[in-house]
Amino acid sequence: MRDRAEALCRVTPLALEGAAPPVIAMLRGVAGELGRAVAGDTGDAAGRELALRLEARLHYVDKHTRAGLSAAAARLDELERRPGGVPLDTPGERELACVLVHSAAVGDHRPAARVAAVCRAVLAREPASSEHVHSTVGMLVTCLCMADAVEDLPAWLSVAAGHARTERAGVAEAVIRAELAAVLLCSGRPAEAEEEVRRSVDLVDDLADDSLLPGMVLAPVLTAVHHPSGAERVLARYGAAPSVPPGFGACLQMLRARAAVEAGDADTALEYCLDAGRRFERAGWTATPVPWRPWAVEILAGRGRWPEARALAEQEVARARRWGAPTQLGRALRMLGELSAPARAGELLTEAVTVLDTAGDRTESDRAVRAVAAHRDRAADPGTGPLPRTPRAPAEPPRGDDPAGAPASAGRPGGDARPAPALTRSERRVATRAAQGRTNQEIAGDLAVSVRAVEKHLTGVYRKLGVSGRAALRRVWEGGSDRIA
């Protein structure tokens, strides 16, 4: 039995998730047998550690079912009731805690504050290494991003990335670079995040390994940064895989939605968003790595389908209140406020600004401040309806919704939004050509600069104009904006 347990623990959780039913049955059998054998035997530390690691793998393979999520939450309840709280002293205890708290988070069984508390405690005890990507410990990165609690992750992940680079562990470094990108996005550092995504995508291109792991981390991140070629490469590599975990499949749908929005095809983007939502819901995931419902709200509103947009926005506010992370709640309040009549809008938008004042990323806070300013203008003309909207890709995994970052206009409750920063001369030259339909390569040749320089200028343009890609940029240009001319 010990030999089988050790062999199963050498298999990564992801590999077990896609294993054949007989393998899963063997995992359940060995885990149950070993768990009973070591129960109450405080002298068998090695056996207990094996049992914990097997239990973590069992909960991992069950995390895409409602029953599995409920079982994980019940197990976490049991551990939290212990005198010292959730045990985290050994690697096995930390592996189990990470998968349990992740399941409790996505299944809507714990608020953000309690999830973050357990994850921070794990992070304080877990040495930074490249090995975390092959265990359940990597799940704490997603949890902390979702909970607006990423302050300790950049340093930890940077050390882990250094180990992976030294070890020439390509899969691990690709995953860690993508994790870093997600954390940097949550910290309001989109330019640095984009660079980490570029490095991650390049590493994936060089991999002979067919592991799904890098794609599972990259897909949600790529919905939030402007890297069209990266999205295309990830979809080309993983999009046709015969079988992927449900959560990954939903994230790939969201990546396709991003591509459709950038191509100006809002209807197709909406279908992808709603399909992703159905996949998440079938798995019992209420909180998700990418905000499918806010995306759908934006697109529905942009198509003038106000009742549907409001209904989804109401659902998102209710969900975000239960979860309690400032960025998700503030964003939901802002979106619903923008869709509401003036009397209710003022209350919702004011609350959004107040909530977002405690968020780590200022991007959504700035958007809420600008929404308050727009509401004042709207309130001055009682005959106006909801704010007119253009479909865009609201993406900031695991929680934001402005792909290239919004104009950097800081604000406080009751304060006026500052004017968005002006484009530089180089940005205007690139923006004009991009809006005319020129490719990056053509623009680079015309301006005698590198393609990379064009991409960096475009990122700045999208951030300053608050647009999601070329299609939205073209609409701004065709509208005669003097900010591009």
Query: For residue 461, is it within any domain?
Result: yes
Instruction: List, in order, residues 6 or more apart from 468 with CB less than 8 Å away.
Output: 261, 262, 392, 393, 395, 402, 403, 404, 462
Q: Give the Cα separation of 263 and 251 in Å (integer).
A: 19
Q: Give the Cα separation of 464 and 262 in Å (integer).
A: 17
The token pair at 347 is: 């209350």
Q: What confidence score (pLDDT) does residue 455 get?
A: 83
Residue 302: which of 420, 386, 417 has the closest Cα? 386
Q: Let me know: does 424 contact 435? Beta carbons within 8 Å.
A: no
Instruction: List, in order, residues 6 or more apart from 46 with CB less than 8 Å away.
Output: none
Q: What confidence score (pLDDT) does residue 421 get?
A: 60
Phi, psi of 173 (to 5 degrees): -65, -40
Query: For residue 431, is it within any domain?
Result: yes
Phi, psi of 283 (to 5 degrees): -80, -5
**Residue span of the structural domain in which 468 resides:** 425-478
In the predicted model, residues of the chain with pLDDT beneath 70 are: 41-42, 360-361, 378-421, 468, 478-485
Residue 412: which of 460, 456, 368, 451 has the closest Cα? 368
Residue 458: which of 232, 266, 447 has the closest Cα? 447
Burial class (CB in 10 A: 0-12, 13-18, 19+), 356: buried
Counting the structural domains of the chain, the total is 1
Q: Give the Cα separation of 327 and 331 in Å (integer).
A: 6
Supply the DSSP string of 276-331, one letter for each residue. HHHHHHHTT-SS-SS-HHHHHHHHHHHTT-HHHHHHHHHHHHHHHHHH--HHHHHH
Query: For residue 100, is it within any domain?
Result: no
Query: For residue 459, is it within any domain?
Result: yes
For residue 268, the Cα-to-chain-centroid distance in whole angstroms is 21
The CA angle 448-453-458, to the nearest 5 degrees, is 115
For residue 396, the Cα-to-chain-centroid distance in whole angstroms is 6
Put simply, whether the predicted model's pTM sits higher than 0.85 gets the answer no
Query: For residue 286, is it within any domain?
Result: no
Residue 142: which of 109, 94, 175, 96 has the closest Cα? 175
Query: For residue 180, is it within any domain?
Result: no
Q: Give the Cα separation of 57 and 32 in Å (integer).
A: 12
Query: For residue 443, is it within any domain?
Result: yes
The token pair at 218 is: 């990259």
Collapse the DSSP code of 41 into the 3-class scheme (helix H, G, I; strand E, B; otherwise coil) and give the result. coil
> What CATH number is given to the structural domain containing 429?
1.10.10.10
Model confidence pLDDT, tens digit, residues 169-204: 999 999 999 999 999 998 888 889 999 999 999 999
Q: Let me know: does 183 contact 154? Beta carbons within 8 Å.
A: yes
Q: Let me know: does 14 contact 213? Beta carbons within 8 Å.
A: yes
Q: What confidence score (pLDDT) does residue 390 get?
A: 43
Query: For residue 438, is it within any domain?
Result: yes
